[in-house]
């Protein structure tokens, strides 16, 4: 039998000629993973003993490598993880246009008591009615009477954390038992968000799902320390720094090294790498119980050098310099979903579509010299041009 890895799309071998391959290669239709039986025959794999940490004031003990479901088309992959002890699954209303919650529902059917379920409101939801609508829809779609965690999706500043109607809705939903805990997700302006959570006198929010990886700056790391000390459960996302596979790194597994790097911080309860298929599941959960080594650091150093010409950390520092007020960081995040290890054009386009038209790459007028300056020296105008081609 042909090894399964050769049949399915392998994110690790996705981009071989640098990051920017041909459009055809980038957007070939995804080949789904083969059946678990095939996978079992293809390669034996011993699932590691699960390792748990406590998620802040929630008291929930969750696996340090938990399941980010956003990319997973097959319930069997999630189910296999849960059967092996992975006990926290993160989804969102918006992933796959709502289909992702349906996939998670199928995956955990009959095993609801073995898993904590976390979902997210729609990124634009603010009012009491909108928050209630989102939670009710998630409950119905996931086939459960409660969510363990509901998160406000993509929070970029403290205003949303202290928005009265949103807080009122979450407080009521907790009282009604429809949600046990609430949190936020953030991958821009994270330090402000983390500090706002730490400073909230009412301690409404219990968790924060935050972009955290070896490229993270001190302000965010300090924010994580403060929030964790205040009892906020910290979950890391985007730990794989785009999950790019770049030519010239040989067999070095920089993705496992990046995951280990994030988990060496005891303030971080867990990471939720997106796992599309069984190969990625095996690769990511194998990290449980491993420690970060000198060899891992060398891998990350080489990986960092390889992705430096194109990796955007979404810091937003450049945006003030753009006369058109293009949301460069979000455009680049959408590009990463298309071109990085995510290889998910639908997600890329959905993320891009969240932007108002005036802030998309379409608003970029390609001004001479591009007055927006990247702290990492990226060619911003070229990235906007690419976004127009791929995502508009």
23 near ligand SF4, judged by CB under 6 A: no
**How many binding residues for ligand SF4 (CB under 6 A)?**
27
Of 70, 240, 268, 364, the one binding ligand SF4 (CB under 6 A) is 364
The per-type count for the chain, helices as H runs and strands as E runs, is 16, 10
- Token code pair at residue 265: 């911080």
Q: CA 18, CA 254: separation in Å to the nearest integer?
A: 16
- The residue from 366, 379, 382, 389 that contacts ligand SF4 (CB under 6 A) is 366
Q: Report the C-alpha gap between 97 and 151 in whole angstroms.
A: 17
Using the contact rule CB under 6 A, the part of the chain among 6-14, 43-51, 218-226, 362-370 near ligand SF4 is: 362-370
CB 373 within 8 A of CB 318: yes
Q: Which is nearer to ligand SF4, 80 or 381 (CB)?
A: 381
Between 99 and 358, name the residue whose CB sits nearer to ligand SF4: 358
Give the residue ranges of DSSP H helices in 179-277.
190-199, 218-229, 254-263
Q: How far is the CB of 312 from ligand SF4 (least distance, A)?
A: 3
Closest CA to 185 of 218, 234, 230: 234
Q: Is 370 in the site for ligand SF4 (CB under 6 A)?
A: yes
CB of 31: closest distance to ligand SF4 in angstroms? 32
Angle between helix axes 99-108 and 128-142 (nearest 10 degrees) is: 40
Q: Are 144 and 53 in contact (CB under 8 A)?
A: no
Whichever of 242 and 341 has its CB closer to ligand SF4, that residue is: 242
Nearer Cβ to ligand SF4, position 97 or 321? 321
Q: Which is nearer to ligand SF4, 270 or 312 (CB)?
A: 312
Cα 110 from chain centroid (whole Å): 26
Check: CB of residue 369 under 8 Å from CB of residue 322: no
Which lies closer to ligand SF4 via its Cβ, residue 117 or residue 372?
Answer: 372
Binding residues among 332-361 for ligand SF4 as defined by CB under 6 A: 332
Residue 237 or 307 having the CB closest to ligand SF4: 307
Pairing between strand 179-186 and 268-271? unpaired
Give the N- to C-terminal CA distance of the chain in Å, as an integer: 41
> 65 vs 322, which CB is nearer to ligand SF4?
322
Q: Contact, 245 vs 341, CB < 8 A?
A: yes
CB of 377: closest distance to ligand SF4 in angstroms? 8
- CA of 180: how far to CAs of 76, 98, 103, 172, 233, in Å? 26, 22, 22, 11, 14
* Other residues' Cβ atoms within 10 Å of the Cβ of residue 92: 26
78 is a contact residue toward ligand SF4 (CB under 6 A): no
Nearer residue to ligand SF4 within complex by CB, 59 or 321? 321
Considering the rule CB under 6 A, would residue 382 count as an interface residue with ligand SF4?
no
Nearer to ligand SF4, 253 or 324 (CB): 324
Each residue 296-335 as x (binds ligand SF4 by CB under 6 A) or -, in order, gives: ----------------xxxxxxx---x-x-x-xx--x---
Residue 87 CA: distances (Å) to CA of 29, 39, 60, 114? 30, 22, 10, 6
Q: Tokens 């080949």 appear where?
A: 31
Q: Which of 365, 382, 389, 392 binds ligand SF4 (CB under 6 A)?
A: 365
CA distances from 44 to 47, 361, 388 (A): 10, 46, 44
What minimum distance in Å lies between the beta carbon of 368 and ligand SF4? 8
- Partner residues linked to 274 by β-bridges: 68
Distance of closest approach, residue 144 Cβ to ligand SF4, in angstroms: 37
User: C-beta of 254: minimal distance to ligand SF4 in Å?
Assistant: 19
Q: What distance in Å separates the CA atoms of residue 203 and residue 233, rounded to the nearest whole number?
A: 12
Q: How far is the CB of 319 from ligand SF4 (least distance, A)?
A: 7
Kindly tell me which residue out of 375, 379, 382, 389 binds ligand SF4, with binding defined by CB under 6 A: 375
Site residues, ligand SF4 (CB under 6 A): 312-318, 322, 324, 326, 328-329, 332, 364-367, 370-372, 374-376, 378, 380-381, 384
């Amino acid at each position: 039998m042909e090894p399964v890895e050769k049949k399915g799309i392998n994110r690790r071998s996705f981009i071989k000629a640098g990051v920017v391959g041909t459009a055809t290669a980038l957007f070939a239709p995804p080949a789904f993973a083969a059946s678990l039986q095939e996978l079992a025959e293809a390669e034996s794999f011993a699932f590691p003993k699960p390792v748990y940490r406590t998620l802040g004031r929630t008291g929930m003990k969750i696996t340090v490598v938990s399941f980010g479901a956003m990319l997973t088309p097959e319930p069997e992959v999630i189910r296999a993880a849960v059967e092996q002890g992975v006990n926290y699954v993160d989804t969102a209303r918006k992933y796959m246009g709502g289909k992702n919650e349906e996939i998670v529902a199928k995956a955990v059917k009959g095993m609801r008591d073995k898993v904590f379920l976390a979902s997210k409101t729609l990124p634009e939801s603010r009012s009491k009615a909108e928050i209630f609508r989102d939670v009710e829809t998630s409950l119905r779609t996931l086939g459960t009477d409660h969510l363990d965690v509901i998160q406000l999706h993509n929070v970029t500043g403290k205003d949303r954390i202290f928005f009265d109607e949103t807080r009122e809705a979450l407080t009521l939903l907790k009282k009604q038992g429809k949600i046990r805990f609430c949190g936020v997700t953030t991958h821009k302006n994270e330090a402000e968000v983390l500090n706002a959570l730490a400073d909230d006198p009412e301690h409404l929010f219990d968790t924060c799902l935050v972009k955290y990886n070896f490229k993270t700056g001190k302000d965010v790391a300090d924010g994580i320390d403060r929030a964790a000390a205040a009892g906020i459960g910290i979950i890391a996302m985007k730990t794989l720094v785009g999950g790019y596979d770049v030519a010239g790194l040989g067999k070095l597994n920089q993705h496992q090294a990046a995951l280990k790097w994030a988990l060496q911080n005891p303030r971080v309860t867990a990471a939720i790498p997106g796992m599309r298929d069984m190969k990625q599941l095996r690769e990511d959960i194998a990290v449980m119980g491993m420690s970060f080594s000198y060899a891992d650091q060398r891998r990350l150093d080489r990986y960092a050098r390889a992705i430096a010409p194109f990796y955007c950390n979404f810091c937003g520092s450049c945006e003030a310099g753009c006369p058109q007020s293009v949301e460069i960081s979000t455009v680049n995040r959408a590009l990463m979903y298309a071109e990085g290890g995510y290889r998910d054009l639908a997600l890329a386009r959905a993320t891009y579509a969240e932007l108002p038209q005036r802030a998309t790459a379409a608003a970029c007028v390609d001004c001479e010299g591009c007055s927006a300056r990247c702290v990492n020296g990226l060619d911003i105008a070229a990235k906007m041009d690419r976004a127009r081609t791929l995502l508009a």
